[in-house]
Amino acid sequence: MGDIKDLKFDDKNFNMHSEFGMSQLERSLRNFGAGRSILVDKDNRIIAGNGIAEAAGQIGIQKTRVVETTGDELVVVKRVDVELDSKEGREMALADNATSAADLKWDEDLLKSEADKWGIDASSWGVEFEKPKTYEDGALGRDFIIVPSSVLDATKPAWVARKKVWKSIVQSEKGRKENLMGYSKTIGESGGTSIFDPVLCEMVYRWFGIPGGSIFDPFCGGSVRGIVAGAMGNRYYGNDLRQEQIDENEAQYEVAKELLEIKKPVWSVGDSADMDKVMSNYDEKEFDLIFSCPPYADLEVYSDDPADISNMDYEEFLEVYRKIIAESVAHLKPNRFAVWVVGEIRKKDGGYQHFVEDSIKAFEDAGMVYYNHAILVSGAGGAGLRVRRLMRNRKLVHSHQDILVFKNGDVPDGLEPMDREAILAQVDEERRLLDNYENVLVFTNAENIKDLQASFPKIGE
């Protein structure tokens, strides 16, 4: 007799096991006892049956009986206490099949990696992975990729799949200090530094921009808004206070242009409170869209520069912030949109600062019409680790952002109505790009990417 503690679990098990499946394994073992053998290698590492061994240990089955074999004989487990033609026997047969099906949850990334490493054809064993769709189902998903609504859910599979493709091209947090929000190092891959969502960026350009139009971003920060704009054939102009951020953006563009055909974004270094000086960097002075995500007051402090509004107290911040909004709006063409991504922040006493309301008022005072308001649900993510700390003071975890849309003039007269066939053509071309690009990521090594450029579909053609 052996002990279950002598068995070694496979740290690269392809089956991640579902929570329901594991509960069913435990139920079967409790009700019927052990019926199926497991398979180990010569060093007692489990080849097949990791879930069974785990469930057995959970319910207190400790004894093992090892039958050594080289595979030239069938190991038969004979249950002398069970008859097949009985309720117990038939239910045991059902449980065996049902638990196998319920507990199968492929670790696709690990399986693909190990299959590639060892030259295994997973499909020959009937393992086929359905590529996640990068657009939502239904007619509206076909027309708009993500269905336009006042609640945008970035946790939906189509959004997540699309974001994964964009993030493989550009990383928006590059060039920024780590942990700007002061969170624990265990929180998220960004370490507490906010990352702009490239799918939101793509949808804003599609829904509120002009195809091939110009975009001004007075708080550009990372590279993602510029690179996505250029990949969609738009002319992007973004300003940031910090030279190191612009240097990193330029470096990311150099990488991204090897993968996509991108109109080069124009990034400038300067203080957006001095708009005349900022505009002196650009060939164009009027734009088809204003799109930005400003500093949330001092929620994230980006630098020690006194001109950096994230260093200011709220009243001083708001004065400069309103000035930048008014002067940005002054450079927007008539009958166009401005889209602002913001979120609520707290005062030192814990109450809300009304930052979203202050942003709306700043645009209205600049002559814009408050036109749409959407909520971007981003999920708790690492914020879940802060629940206990926040709830000591009865604060809810913040897991959304506010998307504010403003217009100037009579938009329907100034812009052509959205033509469904034109939209479909644009969406299909972009969908084809992202689908094919994801295939390149999976099946092509980096050395072959340049060779594929001639036949690679481009955004904006």
Residue 380 pLDDT level (bands cut at 50, 70, 90) = low
- Among residues 461, 455, 433, the alpha carbon closest in space to that of 169 is found at 433
Cα separation, 148 vs 453, in Å, equals 33
Instruction: Write down the pLDDT at residue 164.
Output: 83
Domain end marker among 125, 156, 184 = 125
Residues 382 and 350 reside in one and the same domain? yes
Domain end marker among 83, 102, 125 = 125
| pTM for the predicted model, two decimal places | 0.62
Residues 356 and 436 reside in one and the same domain? yes
Residues 183 and 252 reside in one and the same domain? yes
Residue 223 in domain: yes
Residues 326 and 363 reside in one and the same domain? yes
161 or 85: whose pLDDT is higher? 85
What is the per-residue pLDDT across 93-134, written as a single tens digit (0 to 9) for each? 999 888 888 888 888 778 888 888 899 988 888 887 766 677
Residue 177 CA, chain-centre distance (Å), reads: 20
Cα separation, 188 vs 194, in Å, equals 10
Q: Kindly report which listed range (221-225, 384-388, 437-441) carries the lowest average pLDDT score.
A: 437-441
For the segment 417-429, the average pLDDT, to the nearest whole number, is 53
Instruction: Write down the pLDDT at residue 427.
Output: 53
Residues 242 and 145 reside in one and the same domain? yes
* Best-predicted range by mean pLDDT (281-295, 372-386, 408-422): 281-295
What is the per-residue pLDDT across 304-353, written as a single tens digit (0 to 9) for each? 555 555 666 888 989 999 999 999 999 999 999 999 999 988 888 888 88
Q: Are 154 and 377 in contact (CB under 8 A)?
A: yes
Q: Are 156 and 135 in contact (CB under 8 A)?
A: no
Residue 417 in domain: yes
**Alpha-carbon distances, residue 141 vs 135, 423, 430 (angstroms):** 6, 11, 13
Q: Kindly report which listed range (64-73, 198-207, 310-319) carries the lowest average pLDDT score.
A: 310-319
Query: H or E segment at 269?
Result: strand 266-269
Instruction: Write down the pLDDT at residue 426.
Output: 54
Q: Are 3 and 64 in contact (CB under 8 A)?
A: yes
Domain end marker among 103, 125, 147 = 125
Residues 117 and 144 reside in one and the same domain? no
307 or 219: whose pLDDT is higher? 219
Residue 132 in domain: no
Q: In the numeric block, which tokens belong to residue 133? A: 């769709």
Range of the domain at 362: 138-454
Q: Please report the sign of the dihedral spanned by the C-alpha atoms of residue 447, residue 449, residue 451, residue 452.
A: positive
Residue 166 in domain: yes
Phi-psi region of 145 (alpha: psi -120 to 50; beta: other; left: phi over 0): left
Q: What CATH code is carried by the domain that includes residue 430?
A: 3.40.50.150
Per-residue pLDDT at 265 exceeds 70: yes
Residues 32 and 111 reside in one and the same domain? yes
- Among residues 132, 112, 108, the alpha carbon closest in space to that of 431 is found at 132
Q: In the numeric block, which tokens belong to residue 254? A: 């150099």
What is the per-residue pLDDT across 23-45, written as a single tens digit (0 to 9) for each? 888 899 999 999 888 999 999 99
Averaged confidence pLDDT in the chain: 81
Residue 461 in domain: no
Per-residue pLDDT at 442 exceeds 50: no
Residue 131 in domain: no
Residues 205 and 61 reside in one and the same domain? no
* Total of domains in the chain: 2
Residues 111 and 149 reside in one and the same domain? no
Residue 133 in domain: no
Q: Which residue has the tokens 């400069």?
A: 320
For the segment 39-56, the average pLDDT, to the nearest whole number, is 92
Q: How many alpha carbons lie under 13 Å from residue 350 in its C-beta half-sphere?
A: 7
Residue 439 pLDDT level (bands cut at 50, 70, 90) = very low
- Among residues 63, 158, 98, the alpha carbon closest in space to that of 435 is found at 158
Residues 148 and 195 reside in one and the same domain? yes
Per-residue pLDDT at 368 exceeds 80: yes
413 burial (CB, 10 Å; 0-12 / 13-18 / 19+) is: exposed
Per-residue pLDDT at 266 exceeds 90: yes
Instruction: Write down the pLDDT at residue 300.
Output: 46
Query: H or E segment at 47?
Result: strand 46-48
Residue 310 in domain: yes
Q: Kindly report which listed range (43-52, 81-90, 390-399, 432-441) carries the lowest average pLDDT score.
A: 432-441
Residues 103 and 152 reside in one and the same domain? no
Instruction: Write down the pLDDT at residue 197.
Output: 92
Q: Kindly report which listed range (249-258, 338-347, 425-434) carries the lowest average pLDDT score.
A: 425-434
Phi-psi region of 260 (alpha: psi -120 to 50; beta: other; left: phi over 0): beta
DSSP string, 331-399: TEEEEEEEEEEE---B-TTSSB--HHHHHHHHHHHTT-EEEEEEEEE---GGGGGGHHHHHTTTPPPP-
* Best-predicted range by mean pLDDT (54-63, 311-320, 355-364): 355-364
Residues 356 and 277 reside in one and the same domain? yes
Cα separation, 109 vs 442, in Å, equals 10
